[in-house]
Amino acid sequence: MSKRLEGKAALVLGVAPGNIGEAIARRYVEHGARVLVSGRRPDAMSAVADALGVPWRVCDITSQAEVEDLVAQSEKRLGRLDIGVNATGWGLLKPFLEHSQEDLDRMNAVQFTGPFQYFQALLRHMPEGGSIIQVSSVTASIMFDDHAAYMGTKAGIDHVIRCIAHEFGQHGIRANSIAPGGVADAPMSGGGLMHPAVAALYHREIPLRRSGIAAEVADAALWLASDESSFVTGQVIHVSGGQTLRRNPSLAEVYAAASDAPQAS
């Protein structure tokens, strides 16, 4: 197998066992990159790092001090930084009128302010250019019920990625987002998609007629990190089987399918 990232160094933030961040880190290691993984929980970080044979550091993306220290120490440990990935997120589901100030503050910290400050730190430690990758969501483009704060912050940070591409392209920085649809083997969406009736609802709305898997998102992240995408920046790459051409099922449809209740035609 050709090593598409040989000689490159990557920091992947938002890693936990079985999630998209882990899949991306694994793909980078397979293709020759020096990788450091990071996330909030020491036990999770230790398990992933041991499995991949890479160093790790704990970091809460809502702490600017921790984010800045993570990036600085990662550059020191790896010798340089060529690739920076943000795979953090908080999948809050709550009706619009029930969102509290606490909900909004936390969501903003996890999915807007925290990533913004992470990207600032990456840019300060990428003097020779590099690839910045944000893991977004198909719901930043198409509707889903009771998901406004999540969707709005994902869409907002996608636009920040465009701003980075616009402002820092002259310095050799490429910045892009990846927008997965439902990922059958990832913790955030995999639970529901393991239910055959719920999966069938989604497959109806996906032209390729199946759910995605984390390895397919990792393949897109590999391409964006490699020199093969050297003229690609400021884009949102959808890895959703074409779902943006259609829709998400409603929550009422999902709950009915999950309970095996009959659905209206």
- DSSP code of residue 96: G
At 257, which amino acid appears? A
pLDDT at 194: 78
Domain residue spans of the chain? 9-189+212-241
Predicted confidence band at 193 (pLDDT cuts at 50, 70, 90)?
Answer: confident
Mean pLDDT, all residues of the chain:
94
Q: In whole angstroms, what is the distance from residue 244 CA to residue 250 CA?
A: 15
Domain 9-189+212-241 has CATH 3.40.50.720: yes
Q: What is the pLDDT of residue 80?
A: 97
Rounded to the nearest 10°, the torsion over CA 135, 137, 141, 146 is -140
Cβ-based neighbours of 91, under 8 Å, separated by 6 or more: 150, 188, 189
β-strand partners of 134: 86, 177
Give buried/exposed letters for 185-218 (b at 16+ CB in 10 A, else e): bbeebbebbeeeebbebbbebbeeeebbbbebbb
Residue range 213-244, pLDDT digits in tens: 999 999 999 999 999 999 999 999 999 999 99
Give pLDDT, residue 217.
Answer: 98
Beta strands in 8-139 (DSSP E): 9-13, 34-39, 56-58, 83-86, 130-135
pLDDT band at 188 (very low <50, low <70, confident <90, very high): low
Q: In the predicted model, what is the mean pLDDT of residues 114-130?
A: 98
CA pair distance 189, 138, nearest whole angstrom: 12
Per-residue pLDDT, 197: 86
Of 28, 150, 202, 255, catalytic = 150
Residue 202 annotated as catalytic: no
Regarding pTM above 0.75, the answer is yes
Residue-wise pLDDT tens digits, 37-80: 999 999 999 999 999 999 999 999 999 999 999 999 999 999 99
